[in-house]
């Protein structure tokens, strides 16, 4: 194997963190000389500490603040089709233990040892989000490996991930193998059927990460009147109806998402108990309060209000406002579920914002349950950002 380029840490960089599993190396930790800066985005290099001791094999992108992404602790690892198949096989083995049908997140980026790569599976179709330059460069062998390991016949590329812009990548979607489904794909979860739009929907078409939180909320839904705000394709609402809810109202700003939710309710046999209201979530909650409406179970699962540290303060105020507007809609003794998918807002900060909002609504809360993403979204303990999802279940 020819000599590969070297990425070297500065003397004061925290090599110990890398040795203990940290997956990212930032630009201010590295000696970025002319040769290093000339490396093409997605290049594979050997990472060394300041004393030239090898630390592992990294993917390089000097155009990104995350300049090095750890691929393998072996500094001589060959990142080729066989390596990709090994990573995918290990990921698949876990999911096949967890789920009896091929509908799950197959690869959860750093949590599965494939930094920046997200792959969601929908039966015989897989959707790849290559959110790091190395995965874009190796997209063809990655697709080949995915087909070989899983047997899927269709592979789609979704370029809507926020991280792609930070990596200097385009936002063009593509069909990499087979064909794109010509209709939404039905996905059975928690006793309901969801409709996933793999080409025109949000992210890869469905949010698998909330599966376990849907199930927990459904346990509290027996004969309940349910309000699902920021519902997307009806995630919590349909699960609650499967759990025995008497009625569910789904609120979202997207007409296409609510149409998919309605189609999911029809496919699940819940159409007579399900209704939708399109509009701004904040304005709709205010309107419902003015109407005197109350519900036994209210869920708010908004988009990431604090996707990065610069947006944290503003995002926490938004989460507080969600809680303040949602709490008055919860009947006495009812349940309020508040969720955050913001990387920058950790559990403590998010909980504080929720409690401030509930307090400003003059309600008293018991915290029943704290949930995160399901096990097909494994955390890398050395990367706090991989534990992005938080779901708090309160009794008011």
The secondary element (H helix, E strand) that includes residue 30 is none
pLDDT value of residue 162: 80
Same-domain pairing of 34 and 102: no
Per-residue tokens: 339: 């969720």
Burial of 39 (0-12, 13-18, 19+ CB in 10 A): middle
The secondary element (H helix, E strand) that includes residue 393 is strand 390-395
For the segment 195-217, the average pLDDT, to the nearest whole number, is 89
Alpha-carbon span 366 to 162, nearest angstrom: 35
**Is 335 domain-assigned?**
yes
Q: Which of 142, 177, 212 is at the close of a domain?
A: 177
State pLDDT tens for residues 169-196: 999 999 999 999 999 999 999 999 999 9
Query: Mean pLDDT in the chain?
Result: 95
Residue with tokens 């460069």: 137
Per-residue tokens: 384: 């706090």
Q: Which of 144, 177, 210 is at the close of a domain?
A: 177
Same-domain pairing of 41 and 138: no
Share of the chain above pLDDT 70, in %: 99
Q: How confident is the model at residue 201 (pLDDT cuts 50, 70, 90)?
A: low
Residue 298's φ and ψ, nearest 5 degrees, are -120, 130
State pLDDT tens for residues 19-49: 999 999 999 999 999 999 999 999 999 999 9
State pLDDT tens for residues 45-80: 999 999 999 999 999 999 999 999 999 999 999 999
State pLDDT tens for residues 381-396: 998 877 899 999 999 9
Distances (CA, A) of 246 to 26, 108, 263, 265: 52, 36, 18, 13
Same-domain pairing of 155 and 85: yes
**CATH number (domain holding residue 212):** 3.40.50.150
Q: Which of 155, 177, 199 is at the close of a domain?
A: 177
| Of residues 81, 73, 25, 69, the one with CA closest to residue 50 | 25
Three-state SS annotation for the chain: CCCCCEEEECCCCCHHHHHCCCCEEEHHHECCCHHHHCCCCCEEEEEECCCCCEEEEEEECCCCCEEEEEEECCCCCCCCHHHHHHHHHHHHHHHHHHCCCCEEEEEEHHHHCCCCEEEEEECCEEEEEECCHHHHHCHHHHHHHHHHHHCCCEEEECCCCHHHHHCCCCCCCEEEECCCCCCCEEEEECCEEEEECCCCCCCCCCCHHHHHHHHHHHHCCCCCEEEEECCCCCHHHHHHHHCCCCEEEEEECCHHHHHHHHHHHHHHCCHHHEEEEECCHHHHHHHHHHCCCCEEEEEECCCCCCCCHHHHHHHHHHHHHHHHHHHHHEEEEEEEEEEECCCCCCHHHHHHHHHHHHHHCCCCCEEEEEECCCCCCCCCCCCHHHHCCEEEEEEC
**Is 1 domain-assigned?**
no
* 119 DSSP 8-state letter: E
How many structural domains does the chain have? Answer: 3
Same-domain pairing of 368 and 322: yes
For the segment 215-240, the average pLDDT, to the nearest whole number, is 97
The secondary element (H helix, E strand) that includes residue 261 is helix 255-268
State pLDDT tens for residues 278-317: 999 999 999 999 999 999 999 999 999 988 889 999 999 9
pLDDT value of residue 20: 94
Residue 9's φ and ψ, nearest 5 degrees, are -75, 150
pLDDT value of residue 205: 80
Per-residue tokens: 187: 């996905």
State pLDDT tens for residues 106-141: 999 999 999 999 999 999 999 999 999 999 999 999
Alpha-carbon span 264 to 268, nearest angstrom: 6
State pLDDT tens for residues 352-368: 999 999 999 999 999 99
Same-domain pairing of 211 and 111: no
Torsion angle in degrees (nearest 10) through CA of 131, 6, 18, 310: -50
Among residues 300, 339, 341, 354, the one annotated as catalytic is 341
**Is 97 domain-assigned?**
yes
CA 175 from centre of chain: 22
Q: Is the pLDDT assigned to residue 163 strictly greater than 90?
A: no
Same-domain pairing of 305 and 210: yes
Q: Is the pLDDT assigned to residue 2 strictly greater than 60?
A: no
C-alpha count within 13 angstroms, C-beta hemisphere, residue 123: 10
For the segment 338-358, the average pLDDT, to the nearest whole number, is 95
Per-residue tokens: 50: 């300041």
- pTM of the prediction? 0.94
For the segment 137-153, the average pLDDT, to the nearest whole number, is 98
Q: Are 327 and 357 in contact (CB under 8 A)?
A: yes
Same-domain pairing of 385 and 297: yes
pLDDT value of residue 1: 46
**CATH number (domain holding residue 150):** 3.30.750.80
Parent domain of 56: 6-72
Question: How many C-beta neighbours within 10 Å does residue 165 have?
Answer: 12
Same-domain pairing of 159 and 281: no
Same-domain pairing of 249 and 390: yes
**Is 155 domain-assigned?**
yes
Q: How confident is the model at residue 202 (pLDDT cuts 50, 70, 90)?
A: low
Q: Are 56 and 71 in contact (CB under 8 A)?
A: yes
Same-domain pairing of 167 and 194: no
**Is 233 domain-assigned?**
yes
Q: Is 341 one of the catalytic residues?
A: yes
Share of the chain above pLDDT 90, in %: 91
Same-domain pairing of 145 and 284: no
**CATH number (domain holding residue 55):** 2.30.130.10
State pLDDT tens for residues 218-228: 999 999 999 99
Same-domain pairing of 237 and 373: yes
């Amino acid at each position: 194997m020819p000599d590969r380029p070297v990425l070297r840490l500065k003397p004061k960089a925290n090599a110990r963190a890398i040795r203990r599993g940290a997956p990212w190396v930032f630009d201010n930790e590295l000696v970025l000389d002319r040769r290093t800066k000339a490396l093409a985005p997605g290049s594979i290099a050997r990472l060394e500490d300041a004393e030239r001791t090898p630390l592992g094999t990294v993917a390089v992108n000097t155009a990104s603040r995350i300049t090095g992404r750890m691929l393998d602790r072996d500094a001589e690892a060959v990142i080729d089709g066989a390596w990709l198949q090994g990573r995918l096989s290990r990921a698949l083995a876990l999911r096949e233990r967890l789920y009896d049908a091929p509908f799950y997140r197959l690869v959860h980026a750093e949590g599965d040892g494939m930094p920046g790569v997200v792959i969601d599976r929908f039966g015989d179709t897989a959707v790849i989000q290559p959110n790091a330059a190395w995965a874009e460069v190796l997209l063809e062998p990655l697709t080949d490996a995915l087909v070989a390991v899983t047997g899927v016949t269709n592979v789609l590329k979704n370029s809507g991930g926020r991280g792609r812009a930070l990596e200097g990548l385009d936002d063009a979607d593509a069909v990499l193998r087979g064909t794109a489904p010509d209709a939404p794909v039905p996905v059975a979860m928690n006793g309901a059927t969801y409709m996933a739009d793999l080409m025109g929907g949000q992210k890869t078409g469905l949010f698998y990460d909330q599966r376990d939180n849907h199930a927990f909320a459904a346990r509290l839904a027996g004969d309940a009147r349910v309000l699902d705000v920021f519902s997307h394709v009806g995630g919590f609402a349909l699960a609650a109806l499967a759990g025995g809810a008497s009625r569910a109202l789904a609120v979202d700003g997207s007409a296409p998402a609510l149409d998919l939710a309605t189609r999911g309710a029809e496919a699940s046999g819940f159409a007579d108990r399900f209704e939708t209201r399109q509009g701004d979530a904040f304005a709709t909650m205010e309107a419902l309060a003015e109407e005197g409406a109350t519900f036994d179970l209210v869920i708010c699962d908004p988009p990431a209000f604090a996707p990065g540290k610069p947006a944290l303060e503003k995002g926490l105020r938004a989460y507080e406002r969600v809680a303040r507007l949602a709490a008055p809609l919860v009947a006495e003794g009812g349940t309020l579920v508040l969720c955050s998918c913001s990387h920058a807002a950790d559990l403590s900060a998010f909980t504080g914002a929720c409690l401030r909002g509930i307090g400003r609504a003059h309600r008293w809360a018991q915290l029943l349950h704290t949930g995160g993403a399901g096990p097909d979204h494994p955390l890398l303990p050395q990367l706090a950002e991989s534990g992005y999802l938080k779901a708090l279940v309160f009794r008011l």
